[in-house]
Amino acid sequence: MKKKKSEVFKDNIATFKEISLDLSDDSKLKELVVFRDGKYFLEADKLNNLVTQSRNLNLLIDSARSIMAEMGLDSLLGLIIETVTYVMDADRATLFLVDKEKNELWSRVAIGLGNHQEIRIPFGVGIAGFVGQSKETVNIKDAYNDSRFNPANDKRTGYRTKSILCMPVYNPLGEIIGVIQVLNKLHSDHFTESDENLLGAYSSLAGISIANAQAYDELQKERDLLEVRVKERTRDLEESRKKSDELLLNILPVTIADELKIDGKVKPKSYEMVSVLFTDFKGFTKISENMEPTEILNELDLCFYRFDMLMERFNLEKIKTIGDAYMCAGGIPTANQTNPIDAVLAGLEIQKFMDNLRISKIAEGKNYWELRLGIHTGPVIAGVVGQKKFAYDIWGDTVNTASRMESSGQPGKINVSSFTYKYIHTLFDCTYRGKIPAKNKGDIEMYFVERIKPELSIDGEGLQPNDKFLRLVEEYSQNGYPDSPNELNKSISS
């Protein structure tokens, strides 16, 4: 009656105990001594057998320590097969593992083949394939007299297979996980029943160790997969965070965005000196009536893109666009002393860009937009409004007055209030306009900024400041603006 897999596994494990009992039993030792003809003789065959069993037990114990300590599957397979080859006194040995998906045996570890190429054998083919399919132990004295033997490998390599001992390898659950095979007993013409027991013991030891190694290998793969997933998820989160930050920075200044991310809100902040700049296209509605919507948007995008570039160049903060109006401010979110100068320099560049655009449109025979630009300097409150859609904005009378500077100006000109004028007149040529009526503001003193003063500019148009201009700006930034006319003249002449 065929034994169950679990019973075979237990029988093989029992071989450890049997060998040990053979050596510890006094009756076994007494069998070595024979009294004959008045003398005591030692039975040589029995003594050799006992020595062999002792040797095998010591090898088994030593091997068990090494094999059970190895967790790397490839290293473990190599260690097992190397040990088995030596212990079994075999010329060659191979340990195959079961590939359930392909219904095959495979191995990269074989002693005596001279390489580590993967070997694959279908179930039912050759002796190993037969054992893998039938789960029976096969002990053959002459391989060529057995119809199950496949001589193809011998023909290919020139090797001559004679004796074969091949048996299944089970895991602790009684499931077949491999086949172990030894070829050509070196000091005998066949493998004995004792060899079968010994190989069975190693087979069981191998089954436990391979199962542990496979479990460890699976755990390592899961850990590696988890690490990969964590890295991928981290990378995805980092990319999402980066996109979110970029989107946030398109809406809010860097310092304000950082405060919002850290605190979840932004506290309103008061500023004593901020220069607010407004632009608006004259006759925008009338001219746009004869333009396609796409053309209008393209023209606005062209202008506002250029304005955005100038904001970065002159350290101004874009606040918003309202239809064809553009609003920005200097001195926020980081306060500074130079914002009136920065705003006027940006205004000169904006009007120069619009003048060049006007010239090109005239050359093409197209309508063009003219721009009014106004600047006012004073105190504001800045903060973030909105919960889902954030917007950085500023409030206060300064904003309203700056808007009146724009609406009270003229196309192609930079109109500034007397408050802005007092900060910038030492550096720019300005024309006094007098007191101009402003909606809801009464009469307000206004000035047109014409250009940078000739002695402070490096170009004929008065758009580019020279080193002297920059030194004065640095002095105003550190020491404040001069108050008296004498101080103003002294600063310019120095």
Compute the distance between CA of residue 343 and CA of residue 353 in angstroms, rounded to an integer. Answer: 15
Same domain, 199 and 266: no
Is residue 239 a part of any domain in this protein? no
Torsion sign over Cα 127, 128, 133, 136: positive
Same domain, 51 and 184: yes
Query: Do the beta carbons of residue 452 and residue 444 sit within 8 Å?
Result: no
Same domain, 200 and 292: no
pLDDT at 73: 65
* CATH number, residue 402: 3.30.70.1230
Using CA atoms, how far residue 355 sits from 85, 219, 284, 433, in Å, is 94, 71, 16, 22
Same domain, 207 and 299: no
Compute the distance between CA of residue 426 and CA of residue 109 in angstroms, rounded to an integer. Answer: 90
CA dihedral 347, 353, 357, 359 (to 10 degrees): 90
10-residue stretch averages of pLDDT, the chain, 494 residues long:
46 44 50 62 57 57 54 69 83 88 80 62 90 92 92 88 92 87 90 87 78 76 87 87 74 74 79 96 82 88 94 94 94 94 97 95 88 96 80 92 96 96 96 93 95 92 93 92 52 42
Place of tokens 């359930």: 100
Is residue 381 a part of any domain in this protein? yes
| DSSP string for 124-146 | TSHHHHHHHHH---EEES-GGG-
pLDDT at 424: 96
With a CB cutoff of 8 Å and minimum separation 6, the contacts of 443 are: 435, 436, 437
User: Comparing C-alpha atoms, which of 54, 64, 56, 63 is closest to residue 25?
Assistant: 54
pLDDT at 452: 96
* CATH number, residue 132: 3.30.450.40
As given in the structure block, the two tokens for residue 347 are: 């205004």
User: Comparing C-alpha atoms, which of 448, 452, 488 is closest to residue 470?
Assistant: 452
Is residue 253 a part of any domain in this protein? no
Is residue 166 a part of any domain in this protein? yes
Is residue 256 a part of any domain in this protein? no
Domain count, the chain: 2
Q: Helices marked H in 252-338 — which ranges?
A: 254-263, 284-288, 293-313
Same domain, 66 and 151: yes
pLDDT at 56: 62
Same domain, 296 and 167: no
Compute the distance between CA of residue 57 and CA of residue 330 in angstroms, rounded to an integer. Answer: 90
Same domain, 103 and 21: yes
Is residue 236 a part of any domain in this protein? no
Q: What is the pTM of this model?
A: 0.56
The domain boundary residue, chosen from 218, 247, 272: 218
Query: Do the beta carbons of residue 406 and residue 350 sit within 8 Å?
Result: no
Compute the distance between CA of residue 130 and CA of residue 139 in angstroms, rounded to an integer. Answer: 12
Same domain, 326 and 442: yes
Using CA atoms, how far residue 411 sits from 197, 307, 354, in Å, is 107, 17, 10
Same domain, 206 and 348: no
Using CA atoms, how far residue 33 sits from 40, 41, 48, 327, 360, in Å, is 6, 6, 13, 115, 123
The domain boundary residue, chosen from 218, 242, 274: 218
353 — phi, psi (to 5°)?
A: -60, -45
Is residue 227 a part of any domain in this protein? no
Range of the domain at 112: 5-218
Same domain, 293 and 199: no
Same domain, 74 and 172: yes
Is residue 231 a part of any domain in this protein? no
Query: Do the beta carbons of residue 369 and residue 376 sit within 8 Å?
Result: no
| DSSP string for 204-237 | HHHHHHHHHHHHHHHHHHHHHHHHHHHHHHHHHH
With a CB cutoff of 8 Å and minimum separation 6, the contacts of 436 are: 408, 443, 444, 445, 446
Compute the distance between CA of residue 331 and CA of residue 380 in angstroms, rounded to an integer. Answer: 10
